[in-house]
A and B are shown apart, each in its own frame.
Chain A
């Protein structure tokens, strides 16, 4: 394998790692806000890295351009969707999770 291919494999592995982090966060974290936090940031990075690895693998033609468009719109829309979900949860009056004994009502 050429060094370029090793770089692509490294990017894909890092993307898979962050995807696993996002999945573990969605399962393990306690409430909707922390889960949105895990899902938005880690998942966006994982998807962008995976699509970026695909864009580097493909021929430098139309497929790469489409992949770059995908990355751009994922970067724009994925955090916005997480923002909308968290905002809707707050509009519904869902209290953020706290450790309980400390002050948790400062909003």
Chain B
């Protein structure tokens, strides 16, 4: 039990209370904190997420980079990358994750993805080709078509991931307000 308490304190930044055991029922959780519906961390879920999250992010990049010549692509990989944040939110609590990830960073990621996509597309026009005509970059560096496709896929992935994260946070905000409205 003491190990569980230490794990809760280290990882949950105190949100679950110092003495909160992983198996607490709803009534005990309400006694610990005046906020209703507060999430109490589970050691099983936190450990699994901590182990799996890097692999999931790697798999997301794997899917994104294989979009050019095999099944996969920026959309699927972006959704997987966004699901990493949702997984962290399920394990460590939605409000903790919301404090950890600045909303401006999410918006900046989406804007950066759009800028990468448009920049590569318009850059080809500047070099004298059509929109997204990667072959125009061949005179600048070798294998420019592949790099262009991969960069566009990364941009799409950044857009999809950040939009998924933002939508998830918006839905979670509605849920929290609904819970507070019920008890108030």
Nearest-neighbor residue (CB-CB) of B22 within chain A:
A87
Could you mark each residue 39-50 of chain B with 1 if its beta carbon is under 8 Å from any beta carbon of chain A, else 0?
Answer: 110101100100
| CB of B32 closer than 8 Å to a CB of A | no
Residues of B within 8 A of A80 (CB): 44-45, 48
How distant is the Cα of A42 from the Cα of B90 in the complex, in angstroms? Answer: 24
Residues of A within 8 A of B25 (CB): 90-91, 107
Residues of A within 8 A of B14 (CB): none
A76 touches B42 (CB 8 A): no
How distant is the Cα of A84 from the Cα of B44 in the complex, in angstroms? Answer: 9
Residues of B within 8 A of A84 (CB): 42, 45, 90
B52 touches A73 (CB 8 A): yes
Nearest-neighbor residue (CB-CB) of A88 within chain B:
B90
Residues facing B in A18-66 (CB within 8 A) are: none
Nearest-neighbor residue (CB-CB) of B38 within chain A:
A91
Chain A interface residue number, banded: 10 to 19
Residues facing B in A58-106 (CB within 8 A) are: 73, 76-77, 80, 83-84, 87, 90-93
Residues of A within 8 A of B39 (CB): 91
Total interface residues in chain B, CB < 8 Å: 13
Residues facing A in B25-78 (CB within 8 A) are: 25-26, 29, 39-40, 42, 44-45, 48, 51-52, 55
Residues of A within 8 A of B90 (CB): 84
Nearest-neighbor residue (CB-CB) of A77 within chain B:
B52
Nearest-neighbor residue (CB-CB) of B49 within chain A:
A80
How distant is the Cα of A97 from the Cα of B173 in the complex, in angstroms? Answer: 32
Residues of A within 8 A of B52 (CB): 73, 76-77
How distant is the Cα of A37 from the Cα of B164 in the complex, in angstroms? Answer: 30
How distant is the Cα of A87 from the Cα of B22 in the complex, in angstroms? Answer: 10
Interchain nearest-CB distance for A67 vs B (Å) = 14
Nearest-neighbor residue (CB-CB) of B37 within chain A:
A91
20 A-B contact pairs sorted by A residue (CB < 8 Å)? A73-B52, A73-B55, A76-B51, A77-B48, A77-B52, A80-B45, A83-B42, A83-B44, A84-B42, A84-B45, A87-B42, A87-B45, A91-B25, A91-B26, A91-B29, A91-B39, A91-B40, A92-B26, A93-B26, A107-B25
